[in-house]
Chain A
């Protein structure tokens, strides 16, 4: 079947045999956007987090048919080298990643959080950022999330 949606502001049309194929595999294998990672495959670790209509979802557990006519944003669409998203900028400033594998998922989850809550407390972070990092970069991530909130505010002023 054919499914149309927008990814990182570009309209795409894909032909796929199984409409229940996880969006993750369509993004990575068909659209060749490798920033979104496969971690656990059971919506537990959050490495595959991306946005559908600005809401964070676990793409390993999101059938591509549900993306029809929606706007999908991956880490590649969050910002770029010239114009990084405040979350990406904060991640660079705080030198957050160690191995880096899970970081795109964390950054997408953080961007979704800041959209809903521009100045999250530590408790808000604990409740909303529940991804898993085997390198245990949680301390630096917490700092980066607060820094991203500051950068977002500064960009608005």
Chain B
């Protein structure tokens, strides 16, 4: 008797399982298809690519290290003299970033400068992350200093230290430092458009 009951029960469970699974897979496929539709927006992807071309350029990346050591130059070598971000991203207690870096570039010494010169906080470490991961960090208020989209746009398009990338001055030998691959105006435009389009992070 017991064997007969189990024989009825097994097909019943199988049919139920298939029905439930088909329902779930239908909604999952639907979800994927919506996302793919959005990701295929070439304009959004183009803005994202241009924005990330700038953010992954050494002019930006050098101050977003993952080891708390600022980097220098287009080859992103570790900052000379063993400088580190210290406890508050502003260097050590007596030898701080501001010991050498002032509010603006110094063309006599070749030392770059901008207001609040210092390292990005470790929560905003980008080195080693993919472009998609960097974008996710930028959008995460728990990592970006509590900024909403408006705050991030303001930081990227108005902060003097960010915009220094387009006014990087000259090095100690008088050579002009390399600027990011697109102009400041275009960068501001693509950032604003990418956020206006919903700040969608494309898959790749």
Contact = CB atoms under 8 A, between A and B. Distances in A.
Interface residues of B, number: 23
A66 B94 contact: no
B111 A61 contact: yes
Given A57-B99, A61-B108, A44 B81 contact: yes
Interface in B85-136: 92-96, 98-100, 102-104, 106-111
Contacts, number: 77
B107 A42 contact: no
B106 A61 contact: yes
Interface residues of A, number: 29
Contact of A43 (B93, B94, B100, B103): B100
A42 B93 contact: no
A124 B106 CA distance: 28
B80 interface: yes
Interface of A: 20-22, 41-44, 49, 55-58, 60-63, 66, 109, 112-113, 115-117, 124, 126-130
15 contacts: A21-B108, A57-B98, A58-B99, A58-B100, A58-B111, A61-B109, A63-B102, A66-B103, A115-B94, A117-B93, A127-B82, A127-B92, A127-B95, A128-B93, A128-B95
A44 B93 contact: no
Interface of chain A: mostly helix, strand, loop or mixed: mixed
A113 B99 contact: no
A61 B102 contact: yes
A109 B108 contact: no
Contacts of B92: 124, 127-128
Given A44-B80, A56-B99, A63 B94 contact: no
B109 to A, nearest CB: 4
Contacts of A63: 102, 104, 106
A55 B94 CA distance: 7
Given A41-B108, A43-B109, A130-B82, A124 B93 contact: yes
